[in-house]
Amino acid sequence: MLLHIPGVLNREQVARMREALGAASWTDGRETVGAQGAQVKRNQQLPDASPLRRQLGETVLAALAAQPLFHAATLPLRILPPRFNRYADGGQYGFHVDGAVMALPDGGGQLRSDVSCTLFLDEPEAYDGGELIVSDTYGEHEVKLPAGDLIVYPSSSLHRVAPVTRGARLASFFWVQSLVRDDANRRLLFELDTSIQALTGADADRAALLQLTGIYHNLLRQWAET
């Protein structure tokens, strides 16, 4: 499921992040991928050990905690601490699939990447190129969102970042291990949850709403992995 979640960060938060990242020390993004990824990846990242990465990542996680749409869509069990990257001067990332299993920091075990997330930190008009292009059975989808907006999509998707030919593209990116491994099942639960919320707002029959809510939770109980 490809889903746009607007306004995860407000303008003040985005401005503070851009100011901090503007003075940051970056490293070659190829340091965090395997041999195949290194062949097609040309960008910069904040080092994982950077105190700034940890500080800004905590801001992102706090903002996500206040986003019911994010939780409804991803049903997060674990979230890899957010990272930050920069594309400029032709920087790009060719087609790839994200790694299936990733190490959590501080010996915290491992995370299965079910959902990939990109949080845009620059306005679309500030740079040329830099579209996130996600390929699925319906074709290729180009994503270039306002600063503070988030896109979530299955980690199993083939995707790339187009070359940035003017300006710079700053973003935060991270992965989610969902309570529900299967993307199709997550989509069904999300659509059911969205329908329940809409019917609640329309003052629908309470008995029918109770039945639908029970179906949602029983499906989640059947599919959830903890």
pLDDT digits (tens, 9 = 90+) for 122-175: 999 999 999 999 998 889 999 999 999 999 999 999 999 999 999 999 999 999
User: How sure is the predictor about 106, in pLDDT bands with cuts at 50, 70 and 90?
Assistant: confident
Q: Is the pLDDT assigned to residue 34 strictly greater than 90?
A: no
How confident is the model over 189-209, as a mean pLDDT?
95
Domains of the chain: 3-178 (2.60.120.620), 183-223 (4.10.860.20)
Q: Is the pLDDT assigned to residue 73 strictly greater than 80?
A: yes
pLDDT in tens, 35-62: 776 789 999 999 999 999 999 999 999 9
Under 8 Å between Cβ of 175 and 80:
yes
Q: Is the pLDDT assigned to residue 33 strictly greater than 80?
A: no
For residue 68, the model assigns a pLDDT of 97
CA of residue 28 relative to chain centroid, distance: 21
Provide the mean pLDDT of the chain.
95
> Is residue 19 classed exposed, middle or buried when 0-12, 13-18 and 19+ CB atoms within 10 A define those classes?
exposed
Q: What are phi and psi of 102, to 5 degrees?
A: -130, 145
Helix, strand, or coil (residue 162): coil
SS3 letters for 94-147? EEECCCCEEECHHHCCEEECCEEEEEECCCHHHCEECCEEEEECCEEEEECCCC
Q: Other C-beta atoms within 10 Å of 197: how many?
A: 13
For residue 212, the model assigns a pLDDT of 97
For residue 145, the model assigns a pLDDT of 98
For residue 30, the model assigns a pLDDT of 84
Q: Which residue has the tokens 């990332």?
A: 93
